[in-house]
Structures are given as C-alpha cells and as structure tokens.
Structure 1
Amino acid sequence: MKYLIIAFFLFTAPAFAQDSDLETRAKDVGHALRCVVCQNQSIEESDALLAADMRKLVRERLSAGDSEAEVIDYMQERYGDYVLLKPPVQGNTYALWFLPFLVMVGGLIWFMVSGKRRAS
C-alpha cells in the first residue's frame, strides 16, 4: 500500500505542478485585463458572469499553448483597447497619458505667476 501511495505522488506531482504553473500564468494575465462589465476591476477581481467567461477563455488559450502576450493580444482584438488595464500609448490615448502631466505643469506655472503678481 505504501508503494502505491508513493507511485501515485510520483506520477501526479508533475501534473499538479503544471496546473499550478498554468493557474499562476492565468492569474497574471487576468490581473492585466479589465472586466468589460465592471468599472476598473480586473477579471480576476470581478464577480460578473462575463469576467468568469473571460477567465475561462484565458485558461483555455494558455492550455492550448499560447503565451501570455498572445492571450492578451487575442483579448485586445476581441474586446478592444478598453480590456487592457494599462492602455498602450498611441494616437488616441495621448490625452490619457499626457493631459494629467500638462495640467499639473500648467497649474504650477499659474501658481508661480499669480504668486509673483501678489508679491509685487
């Protein structure tokens, strides 16, 4: 009996390791993807049914042999740029990336100019 238990663990340990590796990769991808139903939640954090379907699709694609980047690209093609929690820097997202910085610099300039006017 002892040998059967040892044999069981010897033959199933790689499968458990592979499943945990797949699960780790799937969670990494899931944290990079936004739930399209919820506002600003990853598919790993969301309880929406669509997020569960998206998690399942991610695991299926990773099981089929796709890399993390290929899965993210597939989901981006399917759902658009909105599905990415960190949108790419491209023409239609320049305002998203650079407007906060420009507003901060403009506010700092306004503060300095109005401070000099009051001092004089």
Structure 2
Amino acid sequence: MTLLRVVLLVLLPLQAMAAIDVYQFENEQQEARFRVLAEELRCPKCQNQSIADSDAELAQDMRDRVHSMILEGKSDAEIVDYFRSRFGDFVSYRPPVNAQTSVLWLIPLLMLLGGGTLIIFLLRKASARADENDSNQGDAP
C-alpha cells in the first residue's frame, strides 16, 4: 500500500507538468508580446476567459497561432485583426468603437449619467423635505 502511495505521489507532478504550454521565442520582447496578446484575446468558446486562462482546445489552438504569428514577424494589430476576422469583435477585450459595438461603449456612460441624475434628484428631494420641516417647526408657538 505504501508503494502505491509513493508511485502516485511521483506521477502526480508529471500530470500537472503536461498541462503547461511551453513556447520558445527568439527574444524576451516576443515573449512579452505573447503574454499581452494571450491576455487581450478572449476565448470564443469559454465564458469570459482569455486564451491565456482557458483550457479549451480552441484556446490552445489560438495560443499556438499567436505564437507562430509572432515568430513570423506579424504586428500585434495584424494578429488581433486576424482573430477578429475569424471570430468577430467579441474575441477582443477592447473592441473597436463602431456602430455594432457602440452599445458596449454607451451603456456604462448612460448608467453613470443615470446614477448621477438619480443622486441629484434624491438629494434635492431630501433637501426640500428638510426645508419644509424647518419651516413647519418655525411656525409652531
């Protein structure tokens, strides 16, 4: 029984190491670009995960493609455009401002304006009540 535990303890780290992607780059700048792009690109199959965080097979394929495109000398914009052409603007955490994505950019602004308007309205209402209470107390003998 002890031998079985020892074998399992020895083999467990090997399985964990098998899940780690290892990419070779010509320099540190390429590796840094890879890390940034892998965090910037969203896995189309996963629920709000970057391709760096996803274990999906599609994310693995995307990481491999990013790696090969960096080694080919493609720019970051070319790489992002490549994935946008295949998966749409959803693939980027920073979608471009255009007619299709305008809602994504306008909703936070509208929520901020609506919240500010609501706060101003509530403050004025509370101020009016306080003024009314002060004037009513001033009339009492």
- Residue 88 (str. 1) matches residue 96 (str. 2): yes
Using the TM superposition, name which of 42-51 and 91-100 deviates more. 91-100
Does the 8 A contact of 1:34 with 1:43 survive in 2? yes
Give the TM-score taking structure 2 as reference length. 0.65
Q: Deviations along 1:41-100, whole A, 9 cap, x unmatched?
A: 110111111100000011111222211211111111111111001111111222211222
Does the 8 A contact of 2:25 with 2:31 survive in 1? no
Which consecutive residues of structure 2, in runs of 5 or more, have no partner in the other structure?
1-23, 129-141
State the one-letter code of the partner of 1:53. D
- Aligned residue pairs, count: 105
Does the 8 A contact of 1:26 with 1:62 survive in 2? yes
Q: Which residue of 1 aligns with 2:32?
A: 24
In the TM superposition, 1:1-120 aligns within 5 A as 18=26, 20-120=28-128
Does the 8 A contact of 1:40 with 1:85 survive in 2? no
Aligned residues with identical type, % of pairs: 38
Structure 1 segments, 4+ long, off by >4 Å, are: none
Give the TM-score taking structure 1 as reference length. 0.75
Q: Which has the larger radius of gyration?
A: 2
Partners of 2:100 and 2:25 lie apart in 1 by 42
Partners of 2:34 and 2:26 lie apart in 1 by 12
Q: 1:92 to 1:38 in 2, by over 3 A?
A: same
Answer 1 or 2: higher relative contact order, Cα 8 Å, separation at least 6.
Answer: 1
Which consecutive residues of structure 1, in runs of 5 or more, have no partner in the other structure?
1-15
CA-based RMSD of the aligned residues comes to 2.0
Greater helix fraction, Structure 1 or Structure 2: 1
